[in-house]
A = this chain, B = another copy of it.
Amino acid sequence: MSAVEGFCLVNGQWSDVIPARDRGLAYGHGIFETIRLSDGKLLMSELHLERLKRGAERLSIPVDSTIVQSYLEMLLSRCPDHGVVKVICTAGEGARGYRTYPQTPPNFIVHWGPPPDYPNHWVTEGISAMVCEQRLASFPRLAGIKHLNRLEQVLARMEWQDQFQEGLMRDNEGHIIEGTMTNLFCFRDGGWLTPSLKSCGVAGVMRQYLMDKLMPAMNCPVRESQLSLESLSGMEELFVCNSIAGIWPVRHIADVGQWKPGKATKAVSSALSENFACFSA
């Protein structure tokens, strides 16, 4: 186990390989979480584990959360205090074919990676984004779930190299849904809006934390809404967020508009940093 490669557990054993016949590889039959590790603590770990459990149920994977937690504790007992911890849970080794056998034990991969090295000014001054051509297809049954079928995001990410920091994705009807790796929040007329994820998209843990906990605690109104691309130019402030990077104000979307990091975004960002120091600039 080399420290350069990171620390990796497969079903509670130190290993960095998985069975070649795993259904996660064969079909993407599994879910994952990426969790920020700061000062030895997994941030928002309850929300991550809840989403993992919810996703596993929708994919008929029998996941025991206490097992996942024990693997996480085993990893944390050895890995560095800061970084990113990824959990993958798959439907296990399958016979040939799409059929799922409920008695098949899942495979759990838990590994550590170094902390992100995003520049500070993305937090303070904001990022530049583009609108991707690649669309998100409607898949209501798995909408919100962080499953392993992510070719839409992979193809969208191929649309730029280093000139942008994020790409926004639309559904087939043209509604803005999310960034390739972030969720979007928009401020207008004193309240926050975030795209509805009823038919596609990933319901990020940071999005959930902001909507269900932080913004209500700040008395900031927030609601889900269908957002057209055109409506973005009329927004007063925009930010994208995820549980690794925190909050990035959006200062530019190519062919759409420009913004300055505003007071509403700064208020949310400051409140987040007060609760989680690693998200301060």
Closest B residue to A27 by beta carbon equals: B150
Q: Are A100's CB and B151's CB within 8 A?
A: no
Q: Given the complex, which residues of B lie within 8 Å of A60, measured CB to CB?
A: 158
Tell me the complex Cα distance, A139–B200, Å.
Answer: 13
Closest B residue to A97 by beta carbon equals: B181
Stretch of A9-17, A44-52, A221-229, A268-276 with 4 or more beta carbons under 8 angstroms from chain B: A9-17
Q: Are A27's CB and B137's CB within 8 A?
A: no
Q: Are B149's CB and A141's CB within 8 A?
A: no
Q: Are B148's CB and A26's CB within 8 A?
A: yes
A88 within 8 A of B: yes
Q: Are B20's CB and A25's CB within 8 A?
A: no
Q: Are B18's CB and A111's CB within 8 A?
A: no
Q: Given the complex, which residues of B lie within 8 Å of A240, measured CB to CB?
A: none
Q: Given the complex, which residues of B lie within 8 Å of A147, measured CB to CB?
A: 151
A84 within 8 A of B: yes
Q: Are A157's CB and B96's CB within 8 A?
A: no
A156 within 8 A of B: yes
Interface residues in A, total, Cβ within 8 A: 56
User: Counting chain B CB atoms within 10 Å of each CB, which of A99, A151, A158 scores highest?
Assistant: A151
Q: Are B18's CB and A153's CB within 8 A?
A: no
Closest B residue to A145 by beta carbon equals: B151
Q: Are B154's CB and A29's CB within 8 A?
A: yes
A70 within 8 A of B: no
Chain B nearest Cβ from A134, distance in angstroms: 7
Q: Are A142's CB and B149's CB within 8 A?
A: no
Q: Given the complex, which residues of B lie within 8 Å of A20, measured CB to CB?
A: 8, 10, 15-18, 88, 109, 111
Closest B residue to A136 by beta carbon equals: B137
Q: Given the complex, which residues of B lie within 8 Å of A141, measured CB to CB?
A: 134, 155
Q: Given the complex, which residues of B lie within 8 Å of A181, measured CB to CB?
A: 97-98
Q: Are B25's CB and A100's CB within 8 A?
A: no
Q: Given the complex, which residues of B lie within 8 Å of A90, measured CB to CB?
A: 25
Chain B nearest Cβ from A39, distance in angstroms: 20
Q: Are A96's CB and B113's CB within 8 A?
A: yes
Chain B nearest Cβ from A272, distance in angstroms: 22
Tell me the complex Cα distance, A51–B34, Å.
Answer: 34
Q: Which of A22-77 contact B (CB under 8 A)?
A: 22-30, 32, 34, 59-60
Tell me the complex Cα distance, A141–B23, Å.
Answer: 24
In the assembled complex, 5 residue pairs joining A and B whose CB atoms fall closer than 8 Å, in A order, are: A29-B150, A137-B138, A142-B151, A147-B151, A149-B149
List the interface of chain A (C-beta within 8 A of B): 8, 10, 15-30, 32, 34, 59-60, 84, 86, 88, 90-91, 96-100, 109, 111, 113, 134, 137-139, 141-142, 147-158, 172, 180-181
